[in-house]
Chains A and B, each alone.
Chain A
């Protein structure tokens, strides 16, 4: 090529193999946005699933359940209890789909990162970019779901808007850990083990009933589940009970996300830069 384009990163600082650059991470998000212009349907699906659960369990079983202990307004009753939990789950699933299922395809089948690494992009940039993208996806799914349940009259407090940043935090924690776990997977068949961990967590983390149905030792164990912390955070906020105890969940999720990110970076470097 005879013509030259100016610009680029000629004056790049040294140590670039490991350096993290938010600007470079954003370019990965740019790629994903370019692709998702072609497939907007995914978001619809991610809102549809929690809505189904809300209709069948929330409404269907709500009639069988009657009053829920701890929910003041019995008009909305059981559905208002279940909806925030489903919202936290939507944020978790939206984010984790990206860093587990889709990421394994990009890592092992499409080998998208191989070509990225021939550019100034670093492994850190890829890890952070993927997590940012996943957070975006999880937050969008949760926000869409919030809009739908607001229309259904299940949002009771203006505090509910705080649920959006909560969803982002939930997305961050699960996306980062999901990414770390995915780097250990040998193939698609290993996904059933992720499923084996996620499904019980979804069922047991007080999604459908309060913590006090468990005997005391089980309560302590359930309280350690990351989804329990996520549900607790969104449910308390959605029901208008904002207070310092929620900081526990916030700190828990931040630490979980950071730990996931560090492990993910190390593992990605091993897998990609052999």
Chain B
């Protein structure tokens, strides 16, 4: 990928990055990340979008310098993870997919101990912990064991903990997976605040609304490769139509109707129970459909979302 921006503004740069795992000594290596390239500038919120097994988490682990790359180049903050892992890790924050909170410690102790791992002086960490607990709205729970926290609280604590070293880059691996709607929105607010304060956010997600909400730019990954890179709006514009008309006919009738109505849409997609018509203007298309006496059981006009792009690019087959 060609870089148009000044080099010192690029915090993260990958080229031909590959990650292969070997389950056992004898087995064939499995390629999780298959030659990807990208660049992230300071202050950006950059997203990796993809189904399970697309290689998002492997990529994140390589960026976090906890998993060596099998091939290709990777520069984080201008350094090579293979040589300067500890240096890089001292300047980034990591929010892993499964909370790796220390179950034997209290909420506050989790931040204190983590800060000490960075070599911060005890006094400084104590002050920082109080400030971060406030930020994560956990001050009242400071002395309770982490096992008593709800999912949302745990995730907020993990984020608070990852900020203890004032990171320049924050890596978030599926930050809101498994949270209820209230907790998700609360977390998004926190992430917006961090972004405004100048921290570069790098996140993976398979929630389309999350990617649209949070990311300035994102890449769609599938089978270890990057299949598209753009802004959320750019991706929708390029890989979908502005609107989608969803029609439901009697079971088994979807394909027949798809052929009859194909000329009304830019693209049609047949699902077991629904027929999707991708079109610039859903309402007009619906009027034309009804004019042909097609009589769908139900119909719905909606704005195209990243989900449509995602499913177009990565397919509808379940991956696991």
Contact = CB atoms under 8 A, between A and B. Distances in A.
A17 B67 contact: no
Contacts of A2: 197
Interface string A1-43: 1111111111011111101000110010011001100000000
Interface in A48-105: none
B71 interface: no
Interface of B: 21, 64-68, 81-87, 89-91, 94, 96, 98, 100-105, 109, 112-114, 116-121, 124-125, 127-128, 131-132, 135, 161-163, 165-166, 194, 197, 199
Contacts, number: 127
B113 A31 contact: yes
A34 B67 CA distance: 29
A32 to B, nearest CB: 9
B117 A14 contact: no
Given A7-B120, A8-B120, A115-B101, 10 more contacts: A1-B131, A4-B166, A5-B125, A8-B90, A8-B119, A110-B104, A111-B100, A119-B90, A120-B90, A122-B86
State the main secondary structure of chain A at its contact with B. Answer: loop
Nearest to A2: B197
A238 interface: no
A122 B118 CA distance: 11
A195 interface: no
A118 B67 contact: no
A2 B198 CA distance: 9
A16 B84 contact: yes
Contact of B124 (A5, A14, A15): A5
By size class, the interface of chain A is 35 or more
B102 A31 contact: yes
A112 B102 contact: yes
Contact of A115 (B68, B100, B127): B100
A1 B117 contact: no
A211 B196 CA distance: 74
A9 B194 contact: no
A253 B124 CA distance: 41
B96 A10 contact: no
B82 A119 contact: no
A19 B90 CA distance: 14
A120 B197 CA distance: 24
B130 to A, nearest CB: 11
A121 interface: yes
Interface string A107-145: 000111011111111100000000000000000000000
A87 to B, nearest CB: 29
A272 B61 CA distance: 11
B67 A274 contact: yes
A273 interface: yes
27 contacts: A1-B132, A1-B135, A1-B163, A1-B194, A5-B120, A5-B128, A5-B166, A6-B124, A7-B119, A8-B119, A8-B165, A8-B166, A9-B87, A9-B119, A12-B86, A13-B87, A14-B83, A17-B84, A30-B113, A34-B112, A110-B102, A111-B98, A115-B96, A115-B161, A118-B66, A122-B86, A274-B67
Nearest to A122: B86
- Ranked nearest first, the 6 interchain pairs of A and B with the lowest CB-CB distance are A16-B86, A17-B85, A115-B100, A119-B117, A118-B94, A120-B86
Contacts of A115: 94, 96, 100-102, 114, 161
B116 A27 contact: yes
A7 B124 contact: yes
Contacts of B119: 7-9, 23-24, 27, 120
A24 B82 CA distance: 20
Nearest to B196: A2
B84 A15 contact: yes
Contacts of B100: 111-112, 114-115, 118
Contacts of A15: 83-84
Interface in A160-185: none
